[in-house]
Amino acid sequence: MTPDIQLVVTDLDGTLWEREAHVHERTRAALGAVTAAGLPLVVATGRRSGSARPALSALGLAPPAVLLNGALGLDLTSGTRFHRGGFDHAGAVAVLAAFHDHGVEPCIYIDHDDHPVCVGSAPSTHPDHLVSFGDDVVTRDLVEVVRSAHVLAFGVLGIPDGLARALGMALEAVAEAHVDRDRQHRGMSVTVAPRGRSKWDGVAAFCSEHQLDVGAVMAIGDGPNDIELLANAAVAVVPSDAHPAARLHADHIVGRAEDGGWADILEILGIT
């Protein structure tokens, strides 16, 4: 094992798996090898807990997770929070205004145990995405939500490419907007975090709480929302089909998620 690495941090979609229902056997075996080697594993994803938890549970995992692109750090086993970020009032108002200026009704993710997702009366996200929220979602006046709730993140999935890119450019003035291909639905995704905030915030908080060296992290990710994570990691790994912006920060390139490329990190770590 690479002696300097104390923590492995992995993105999910496009990195650990291409589709959560079909995780490659090589990847499943490699997850077991990392665990057997006693190396802590943290997930860092744009997903919320209600989406990440069942997908990981199917692999027999309930690891600590940095969720919503760094807005929340949660131990998926105990429910204990190790990090809480999110927007201040002015920031949340500005982001919602940018969405509305483009005729888009976003999903708003808040720190709430029963209903962590809020949508308006005509949400713009893909219908299947909306269904996936199940009982976690509630319909509310979004202007009131940003006024009264602790907003963690915004997002919309499955919108047209041109609209997504125009929205992303507008949001750059007020927040960190991540525009990427939507791997689950047709179209593009736009996810939004506070300016200067990223997955790395949650990773740094986890390291501090567990007395791990923040300079001894291996991170693997594939998207624009992984850039800060990869840039700050001691060892940065990307799959071969990663977004060009993520590839710029790669120390190592492994195979695609759909081919079990995640397992290639074992060689980098020196795990046999």
Residues 75 and 101 in one domain: no
Residue 176 token pair = 């960190």
Taking CA atoms, 271 is separated from 26, 63, 162, 265, in Å, by 14, 20, 44, 9
Q: How far, in Å, CA of 254 to CA of 184, rounded?
A: 22
Q: How far apart are CA 10 and CA 78, in angstroms?
A: 20
Does some domain include residue 1? Answer: no
Strand partners, 66: 44, 73
Query: Is there a contact between 195 and 174 (Cβ–Cβ < 8 Å)?
Result: yes
Are both 150 and 210 inside the same structural domain?
A: no
- Containing domain of residue 98, as a range? 89-193
- Contact between 70 and 193 under an 8 Å Cβ cutoff? The reply is yes
At 10, which helix (H) or strand (E)?
strand 7-10
Distance CA 178, CA 197 (A): 12
pLDDT at 181: 86
Are residues 259 and 233 both part of a single domain? yes
Q: Quick check: is 120 in a domain?
A: yes
Q: Which amino acid does the sequence have at 244?
A: P
Contact 247, 230 (CB under 8 A): no
State the sign of the Cα–Cα–Cα–Cα dihedral 8, 248, 200, 78: negative
> How do residues 17-43 score in pLDDT, each as one tens digit?
999 989 999 999 999 999 999 999 999
CA 5 distance to own-chain centroid: 22
pLDDT band at 184 (very low <50, low <70, confident <90, very high): confident
Q: pTM for this structure? A: 0.87
**Residue pair 92/148 in contact by the 8 Å Cβ criterion:** no
- Where residue 272 falls among pLDDT bands split at 50, 70, 90? confident
Task: Tell whether 2 is covered by a domain.
Answer: no
pLDDT tens track for 223-264: 999 999 999 999 999 999 999 999 999 999 999 999 999 999
Amino acid at 154: F
Q: Are residues 136 and 115 in the same domain?
A: yes
Per DSSP, the three-state class of 256 is: coil
Residue 164 shares a structural domain with residue 138: yes
